[in-house]
Amino acid sequence: MRLSNLLRIAWRAIIRNKMRTLLTMLGIIIGVAAVIAMTAIGQGSKQSIEGQIKTMGSNMIMIVPLSNVQGGVRLDNSSVQSLDENDITALQKQPVYINAVSPVVSVKGQVINGANNWSTTIQGVYPDFLFIRSWPLKDGVAFTNRDVKSAAKVCLVGLTVIANLFPDGEDVIGKSIRFKNIPFKIIGVLSKKGDNSFGQDQDDMILTPVTTVQKRILATTYYQYIYASAIDEKSTDSASAEVEQVLRKSHRLTASNENDFTVRTQAQLVSMLTSTSSILTILLTVIAGISLVVGGIGIMNIMYVSVTERTKEIGLRMSLGARGRDILMQFLIEAILISITGGLIGIIIGITSTKAVTLFLHWPTAVSESSVLLSFLVCFITGVFFGYYPALKASKLDPIEALRYE
């Protein structure tokens, strides 16, 4: 029997029971729409996280002292004392894959300008910090290595801090602000950076020479982090290995000692942050997949009903010369047509709702072609799989008994 004939017969059977067919399709429609929307939202958030992390400087490497356990007390980062100036010196000695290094020491507190005050973070860094974070100045100039040497009381200020301390919008360069009773002269304004991937406002920040924080505020010689940057994106892994090697040497760790610091590259950070969202995507996709299976069972059920209902028709067709194979194909194609039509409707609804999510909730989304293709394929397979047994039952009917069926 020709495929065109089979398709026509199946199509008529479907439109003859429009409501029933639609209800049967519902499981498939919901399943496919959910798969498309879920993967689009998952993909979108992953891409946006990747994009945000890129803005932190794609070649950036972060060195964090290991919060080792001492006497059962887990110490917080700022009191862990494994990174100091020796490490910086070691890293700067003969760098191969590293082209910039900066320590970070941060302290939280109140900054005051006259009657205005604002609680923020002061980070002590090197001038190279701006390069590592690819963070240009909006205004003014950066402090220099000489300022670092002299622990100069100068600072670069983020936009959020300015907005709170200078609500009138006046020119801030050259103005003085006080932090813990120390006056800092504003010499530059940081350009807007926005929220980081953890949702923190990166513009709520003041940068000063690292020595200023160490000597004038905290009275410490240690660093909380060291940031470095690799010479290019491809070299981040080599750079990370280099950092590890240099620091192990400068910390005099023997082969049996474990690292007392961790080195993280951007790539690792990306995979860390996206892993939760991909787990969520997988989970939701599994749920959507289950609803596809349920939809398939619905199709199977309705096909059994249809075969029973049309037993007499099957007998007639057989007596007029339809072979078992023709009947099998007729019902199989009907099942496939139901599932594929459901799938197409699901794809349309999935894409539309994805667009709606972007439009109204402003969530980033990205409909992937592969998810559309995959759902279509899964629908086809669902139709074949769940349609086969009812169709087989139909094809095995005895023409005489089927004709006699009431």
Partner 1 sequence: MDSVIVDIKNLKREFKIGEETVKALNDVSFTIKTGEFITIMGSSGSGKTTLLNILGCLEKPTQGQYLLDGTDVSKLSKNELARLRNKKLGFVFQSYNLLARTSAIENVELPLLYNNEFSASERKEKAIKALEAVKLKDRMYHLPSQLSGGQQQRVAIARALINDPVMILADEATGNLDSRTSYEIMELIQELNDVHGKTIVFVTHEPDIALFSKRTITLKDGKILKDAINTNIGNAKAVLEKLPAPEEFSTTTA
Work out which of 74, 181, 321, 369 binds partner 1, going by CB under 8 A. Answer: 321
* Secondary structure element (H or E) that encloses residue 197, with its range: none
Work out which of 263, 317, 341, 371 binds partner 1, going by CB under 8 A. Answer: 317
**CA 376 to CA 37: how far, in whole Å?**
14
Give min distance, CB of 366 to partner 1, in A: 45
Report whether 168 contacts 114 (CB < 8 A): no
Can you say how many angstroms the Cα of residue 354 is from the centroid of all Cα atoms in its chain? 16
Question: In this structure, what DSSP letter does residue 374 have?
Answer: H
Nearer to partner 1, 201 or 326 (CB): 326
* Secondary structure element (H or E) that encloses residue 237, with its range: helix 236-250
Q: Tokens representing 211? A: 């020595």
Grouping H, G, I as helix, E, B as strand and the rest as coil, residue 102 is: strand
Cα three-residue angle 161-165-170, rounded to 5 degrees: 105
**CA 94 to each of CA 62, 131, 278: distance values in angstroms, whole numbers, following the listed order:** 19, 19, 40
Question: In this structure, what DSSP letter does residue 259 have?
Answer: P
**Piece of the chain touching partner 1 by CB under 8 A; list 159-167, 250-258, 314-322, 368-376:** 314-322
Determine the size of the site formed for partner 1 (CB under 8 A).
Answer: 23
Give min distance, CB of 321 to partner 1, in A: 2
Nearer to partner 1, 317 or 393 (CB): 317
Give min distance, CB of 18 to partner 1, in A: 12
Give min distance, CB of 314 to partner 1, in A: 11
Q: Which amino acid is at 4?
A: S
Looking at residues 3 to 22 of the shown chain, list those that interact with partner 1 (rule: CB under 8 A): 4-5, 9, 12, 16
Report whether 62 contacts 227 (CB < 8 A): yes
Q: If binding is defined by CB under 8 A, does position 109 make contact with partner 1?
A: no
Report the 10 Å Cβ neighbour count for 320: 8
Q: If binding is defined by CB under 8 A, does position 393 make contact with partner 1?
A: no
Nearer to partner 1, 9 or 40 (CB): 9
**Piece of the chain touching partner 1 by CB under 8 A; list 50-58, 318-326, 340-348, 359-367:** 318-326
Q: If binding is defined by CB under 8 A, does position 218 make contact with partner 1?
A: no
Q: If binding is defined by CB under 8 A, does position 309 make contact with partner 1?
A: no
**CA 116 to CA 128: how far, in whole Å?**
31
Work out which of 163, 282, 283, 400 binds partner 1, going by CB under 8 A. Answer: 400
Q: Tokens representing 92? A: 């700067």
Report whether 36 contacts 346 (CB < 8 A): yes
Work out which of 137, 388, 403, 405 binds partner 1, going by CB under 8 A. Answer: 403
Q: If binding is defined by CB under 8 A, does position 234 make contact with partner 1?
A: no
Work out which of 231, 326, 348, 358 binds partner 1, going by CB under 8 A. Answer: 326
Give min distance, CB of 394 to partner 1, in A: 14
Q: Give 73's contacts (C-beta < 8 A, 6+ positions apart).
A: none
Grouping H, G, I as helix, E, B as strand and the rest as coil, residue 108 is: strand
Q: If binding is defined by CB under 8 A, does position 2 make contact with partner 1?
A: yes
Give min distance, CB of 17 to partner 1, in A: 10
Q: If binding is defined by CB under 8 A, does position 180 make contact with partner 1?
A: no
Q: Give the footprint of partner 1 on this chain (CB under 8 A).
A: 1-2, 4-5, 9, 12, 16, 312-313, 316-326, 399-400, 403
